[in-house]
Each structure stands twice: as structure tokens, then as C-alpha cells.
Amino acid sequence: MLSINTKKTVVVENSRKNEAPKKIVLSKNVDGNISQYLVEFTKDLKYFFTNVHSSVKVYSIATGTVVKVLSQSPSTGGHSDKVTCVILNSKNHLQLYTDSLYGTIKL
């Protein structure tokens, strides 16, 4: 489930060549499921992280494409089960905490 607190997310979508881009502002989630995956946005709102099975995908908001997949095998410190939560470290934006169904938290 996606829960967006009070952060505003602005997504600009180019529809046609000669038309002005459409601007969508998501400012509040009013009950319900937007996605089965959790989402964590960077402070600059250029990227977001989402859990997919035992890995985390990094998406560009500008292009909507995956720019990186963060994944490790369990033998090298990765999760052995589905990642259930992704949270950026508030004191270090280069660190991401993940949690799994197995109950482990990784940095």
C-alpha cells in the first residue's frame, strides 16, 4: 500500500508534441490502494524506490524508467524473502533501510 503523508509529488507528463505538458499533483492519499508496492521518494523528488520481491528498484520520476536495481544474494547479505518496506535514512540520503517478510532489517 502506498501512503503519502503531507509531501506533495508533482509529475509532469508530455502528452503531444504541440501541447503544453500536463501537470498532476498528488497531495493526499484518501483511503485505498494505489499500488501493492511501497514507495519512498528522495528529498529532491527526482527518484523513488520501490520493493520488488527481494530487491529494490530505483525509478526516475522524470522518465518513469528503472535506473538501478538494488539486489544482493542472501549469501552476500541480501534478503532471503520478499522486501516489505523501504525507508531512506533521514540523516544520510545515501542510505536505504529495507525490511523483509523474514523479519530482517538491512541497511
pTM score, two decimals? 0.56
Residues written for the chain: 107
Q: What angle do CA 67, 69, 72 make, to 5 degrees?
A: 160
Q: State residue 76 phi and psi, 5-degree precision.
A: -110, 20
Q: For residues 98 and 68, give the distance between their C-alpha atoms in angstroms, rounded to a whole number.
A: 16
Tell me how far CA of residue 106 lies from CA of 23, 35, 73, 85, 91, in angstroms: 36, 23, 13, 10, 16
For each of the chain's 107 residues, which pLDDT tens digit applies? 344 444 455 554 555 566 666 665 655 555 555 556 678 888 888 998 887 777 788 888 888 888 988 776 655 556 566 777 777 888 888 888 777 776 666 55
